[in-house]
Amino acid sequence: MAWLLVSNLSTMKIKSYIPRTIVNLTIPLIFGLTLLFLWEVLTRGLGVPSILLPPPSQIGVRIANSLPILAADFQQTFLKAVLFGYVVGCATGFAIAIVVDRSPFMRKGLMPIGNLVAALPIVGMAPIMVMWFGFDWQSKAAVVIVMTFFPMLVNTVAGLSTAGHMERDLMRTYASNYWQTLFKLRLPAALPFIFNALKINSTLALIGAIVAEFFGTPIVGMGFRISTEVGRMNVDMVWAEIAMAALAGSLFYGLVALIERRLTFWHPSYR
């Protein structure tokens, strides 16, 4: 029944904005609730041990009973390490991309190194950052900065080169200088690439901070809680942390996508 309902809703042609938005939000909601229902039925009906896969109801009870702990972990990991590292990493990558765009030497010298560093495994960087910046959230923010810097750098440099030659010639006929061309033509044309990097980094930042907490952290944080509760066989608490991380990451990604929609409404993909 849920499959039939979602199928019918997805094929509806609604012209009004508000009803169409409600339908677009209802479809994934029904689909997600259906998956949770099947998860509950299968784990209960087949007698799956909770140490392997607890049912959603047990995870929900754990979330309700552990709100202070989850709130402290969320503040330590997301509000401190993730947000700080995300803002600094993306802003630095964007600023360096402007410098690289003006310097062919920097473009040919820095970009290959950037691709090399971007391929480094996080499990190799995290222990080094912990030794450099300590066990608190600063070391996790440093990991996030490294992980988000190069996607922003590469995408911004690629986006700045998308403006066509005809548009650039037109700007030159208006006697525009470099900065006028940059702000009025090239940066608007690069916005889809920049937001693509922002969306990629919104998930990378959370993953990087959680994994970095496996290698040293105070007695608080999502990654610390996951590693500790796995050792104690409290799998429902592990799933509660996973659910909170998934919700925070999804909302963060959705916020960036909403801002992108507002600023790039002119792009052909939205027309």
Choose between 74 and 21: higher pLDDT. 74
Tell whether 131 and 20 lie within a shared domain: no
Q: Please report whether residue 180 resides in a domain.
A: yes
Residue 139 has pLDDT above 80, yes or no: yes
* Cβ–Cβ < 8 Å for 96, 152: no
Q: Please report whether residue 72 resides in a domain.
A: yes
Tell whether 183 and 237 lie within a shared domain: yes
Q: Please report whether residue 256 resides in a domain.
A: yes
% of the chain beyond a pLDDT of 70: 98
Predicted confidence (pLDDT) per residue in 216-247, tens digit: 777 888 888 888 888 888 888 899 999 999 99
- Tally the domains of the chain: 2
User: What's the pLDDT score for residue 269?
Assistant: 66
Predicted confidence (pLDDT) per residue in 24-39, tens digit: 888 888 888 889 999 9
Residue bearing tokens 């440099």: 157
Predicted confidence (pLDDT) per residue in 181-196, tens digit: 888 888 888 888 999 9
The CA distance from 190 to 158, in Å, is 8
Tell whether 33 and 63 lie within a shared domain: no
Q: What's the start-to-end Cα distance of the chain, in Å?
A: 33
Q: Tokens for 236, please give them.
A: 């429902």
Residue 54 has pLDDT above 70, yes or no: yes
CATH number at residue 177: 1.10.3720.10
The CA distance from 38 to 64, in Å, is 22
Tell whether 67 and 129 lie within a shared domain: yes
**In which domain, by residue range, is 217 found?**
57-270
The DSSP element (H or E) to which 216 belongs, if any, is none
User: What's the pLDDT score for residue 187?
Assistant: 86
User: CB under 8 Å to 182, separation ≥6 — which residues?
Assistant: 98, 160
Report DSSP state, residue 162.
-
26 CB-side CA count, 13 A? 15
User: What's the pLDDT score for residue 87?
Assistant: 94
User: What's the pLDDT score for residue 184?
Assistant: 82
Per the prediction, the chain carries an average pLDDT of 85
Tell whether 30 and 126 lie within a shared domain: no
Tell whether 40 and 158 lie within a shared domain: no
Q: Tokens for 247, please give them.
A: 């919700």
Tell whether 27 and 78 lie within a shared domain: no
The CA distance from 239 to 263, in Å, is 36
Tell whether 239 and 144 lie within a shared domain: yes
Q: Please report whether residue 189 resides in a domain.
A: yes
Predicted confidence (pLDDT) per residue in 162-215, tens digit: 877 787 788 888 888 878 888 888 888 888 899 999 999 998 899 888 888 888
